[in-house]
Structure formats: C-alpha cells, structure tokens
Amino acid sequence: MKILVRSIALLSLLCCLSGAYAQTELKPEWEVGAGFAAIDFPMYRGSNERRSFLLPIPYFVYRGEKLQVNRERVRGLIFKRDTAEVDVSLNGSVPAKGSIARQGMPDLDPTLEVGPSLNIHLLYSGDKKNTLDLRMPLRGVIASDFKHVQGVGWLFQPQLDVDFRDIDHSGWNIGLVGGPIFSDRRYHQYFYDVAPQYATSTRPAYTASGGYSGMQYIFAFNRRQQDGHWVGGFMKWDNLNGAVFADSPLVKSKSYFTIGIAATWTFNRSDKLVEVNDD
C-alpha cells in the first residue's frame, strides 16, 4: 500500500509538471535514469490535513510515434493533427487514512483517473516555443485497496494551458494551466458524503450532488541541461468556493496550495534520434 500511495503522489506531481511544449527537435528514442521528487499536499481536496513525501524516482523516457512516455506523463496518441489531438489523460489521489475530519468513517482508498483528452492548439509563436492550448480531459475514476475495486464516477476538467519554452535561450520552460472542474454525483459523494450512521454533533449528515467542483490553477517550471540533468517544480492552487459540495462538513479549507519539486539524471540513452514535437 505504501508503494501505491507514493506512486499516486508521484503521478499527481508529474501531471502538474506536464506541459505542451511544441518545439520540434531531434532527441534519443529512449532514455533511462533516476532522481528524486518531493511533494506536499492535502489528504483530499478541501482537507486541512496535509501529507508530504520525499521519493526516489526511476524514470523511463520513450518517444514513439503513438506512445510517448516522459517525466511528466504517459501519452497514448489516439488522434493527431496540426490544430488538435486526442491523447490519454491520467491522474489520481492518495488514500485519506487517519484523517481527523473523517474519524470514525471508512478511509478513502487511493483513486486512479483515466480517460481521453481532446487538446486544441489555439495559438503558437512562429518558432512554436510559446503556445496556448485548450485541454478537455474526461476521466473515469476507480478506487481500490487491492482487495476491492469500485467505480466512483467521472470528472471533466477543461483547462487553458499557456507554455513558454526556452525563455531568453536560458533553457527554462514555464507553464500556466487553469480551469474549472466538473464531477458527477458519485465522485462527490465518495469524498464528501457523511452517511447518517457517521454523523456527530460537529459533523452532520450530508449528501453531495454532482456539478461544479471548483477551480484549479497550476504554475509549473522545468529546465533540462545537455548532460541529461533535469529539474522541475510546480505550485497548484485550488479554490472550492461555489463548489456544489462546499457545505460538506468534510470540507475544512476552501482555498489552499500544493507544491512539489523533482530532479532527475540520465544514465543511458539510445543512439537513434527521432523527431519530437512535445517533451
């Protein structure tokens, strides 16, 4: 379970670091290496209890025509054109075990979110170093403790994504991503419902509905050196004001930050070079 928790924490960090840097370059078809990542985040959206991880991270980069695996995400390209593409979007959450707000209630299992994302390229500079994209991922969500698996709904997260690559030829890349989140009733009830048998004098019974889940904004940065060393980080701000579950007694904080950093080193790479538009 600890390995699963750490993997989901790392997945969340890497998803925040992802960007749509669209400059065409020749790069090795695959690379292998290792590094570390640190992340500090709430137990669940709306929690005022936080968890922190410092993790070793092996990584593998593969730049295939349809499948692309890098430090930030796994991209299974389903459809690609100059102005739009459809790929696979991943995300997840860690378990909420030992939460004071949920004392006496069942723990939240870790979740995995998987689904397609339609990405539309709205604007880009002549050298394609600066881009503006609209991402529209629709992900189904499952929760599991390895003994039981259950579907816990879906979410839709349209985002505007602005990326600036190789700023002033420094090698630094910056990404800004933001937009609303919408989820169905099952998803909100999994995290924010309080069944009557778990109600207390300070935690009344509550049933969540589907709909608006708040806003999320991410600032991410990274830099890759010629020797293969890579460093990146992010800051994510969640605002739950106006969310349909905002009145749940399990929501203790309606505005908060999540932060993370990572660094990796390349140990080996292929001699074969391939043309890539996103890394």
Query: Could you tell me the CATH number of the domain that includes residue 92?
Result: 2.40.230
CA–CA dist 135, 121 (Å, integer): 9
Q: Whole-prediction pTM value? A: 0.84
Domain span including residue 108: 2-21+29-276
> Could you tell me the CA-to-CA distances from 6 to 37, 47, 55, 56, 224 in Å, in that order?
10, 19, 7, 10, 24
Q: Which residue do the tokens 């928790």 mark?
A: 5
C-alpha to C-alpha distance for 100 and 1, rounded to whole angstroms? 20
List, for residues 205-242, the tens digit of each pLDDT value: 999 999 999 999 999 999 988 777 889 999 999 999 99
Q: Which two tokens stand for residue 227?
A: 């020797």
Provide the CA 127 distance to its chain's centre, in angstroms.
28
CA-to-CA distance for 117 and 89, rounded, in angstroms?
A: 6
pLDDT, residue 75, reads 54
Whether the Cβ atoms of residue 93 and residue 82 lie closer than 8 Å to each other: no
Count of structural domains within the chain: 1
Reference 249, options 201, 192, 190; nearest CA is 192
Residues of the chain with pLDDT below 50 are 4-5, 19-23, 71-72
- Tell me the pLDDT tens digit for each residue of 88-105: 888 888 888 889 999 999
